[in-house]
């Protein structure tokens, strides 16, 4: 299968085309990509099938995408998502 490139918080990464965003991150050793609103606690994948919404991530500036459902695209810019995002 072909390989694609993406970045996570500015770090270049590679993964297999067709991977979910969560799989792309985990295959690069990243287990957490969000922090919670109240306790600033790290979170990553939990249910893995779109039910728990713990794996929310920001992709190309769009927030709150479920990493376990979305399929990564070549050139995606992923950013970890702080629970309390700064007001612009």
Partner 1 sequence: MNSAQMPATADAVVIGAGVVGACCAHYLAAEGLNVVVVDRGLVASGTTGAGEGNILVSDKEIGAELELALYSRRLWQEIAADLKVGEFESKGGIVVATSELIAKRLKETAEFQRGAGVEAVDLDREQLLELEPHINPAILSAVLYPQDAQVQPMLTAAEILRNASARVTVVTNAEVTGIERDAAGAVTAVVTSRGRCATPVVVNAAGTWGGAVAQLAGVELPIHPRRGFILVTTPQPVMVHHKVYTAEYLANVASDNEGLETSTVVEGTRAGTILIGASRERVGFDRSINYEALQKLAAGAIAIFPFLKDIMLLRTYSGFRPYCPDHLPVIGPDSRVPGLFHACGHEGAGVGLAPASGKMIADAVMQRATEVALAPFNPVRFEEAADV
Partner 2 sequence: MKTELVVIGAGPAGLSAAAAAAERGVRVVLVDAGERLGGQYFRHDGSGESHNRDWATYQQLAQRIAAQQSRGNLSYLSRSAVWSVSDDGESFTVRIRKGERDEAAIEVIAPRLILATGAHDRALAFDGWDAPGSITVGGLQSLVKGNNLVAGQRVVIAGTGPFLLATAADVLKAGGTVVAVVEAHSFTALAANPAAMIAGRHKISQAIELLGALRRGNVRLIDRATIDAALRNDNGAVRAVSVRTNKGIIGIECDVVATGWGFEPNVELAVNLGLSTKVGIDESLNVTVDDNQQTSNDRVWAAGELAGIAGSDVALAEGEIAGAAAADSVGRRGADTEDARRTRARGRRFAKYLLSAYSIPAGWTKHLPNHTTLCRCEEVTVGEVREAIDEFGASDPRAVKLFTRVGMGWCQGRMCAANCADVIRDCAGVETDAAALAAAHKRVIAQPITLGTLAEWDSGAQ
Binding mask 4-23 for partner 2 (x = CB under 8 A): ------------x-xxx-xx
Binding mask 23-42 for partner 2 (x = CB under 8 A): x--xx---xx---xxxx-xx
Report the distance separating Cα 16 and Cα 3, nearest Å. 5
Report the distance separating Cα 20 and Cα 66, nearest Å. 10
For residue 25, which phi and psi values (nearest 5 degrees)?
-70, -45
Nearer to partner 1, 27 or 40 (CB): 40
Residue 52 engages partner 2 in binding (rule: CB under 8 A): yes
Point out which residues bind partner 1 (CB under 8 A): 37, 64, 83-87
| Strands 77-79 and 3-8, sheet pairing | parallel
């Amino acid at each position: 299968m072909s390989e694609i490139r993406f970045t996570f918080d500015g770090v270049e990464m590679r993964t297999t085309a067709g991977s979910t965003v969560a799989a792309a991150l985990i295959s690069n050793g990243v287990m957490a990509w969000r922090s919670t609103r109240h306790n600033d606690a790290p979170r990553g994948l939990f249910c893995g099938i779109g039910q728990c919404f713990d794996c929310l991530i920001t992709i190309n500036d769009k927030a709150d995408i479920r990493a376990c459902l979305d399929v990564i695209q070549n050139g995606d810019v992923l950013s970890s998502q702080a629970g309390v995002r700064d007001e612009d």
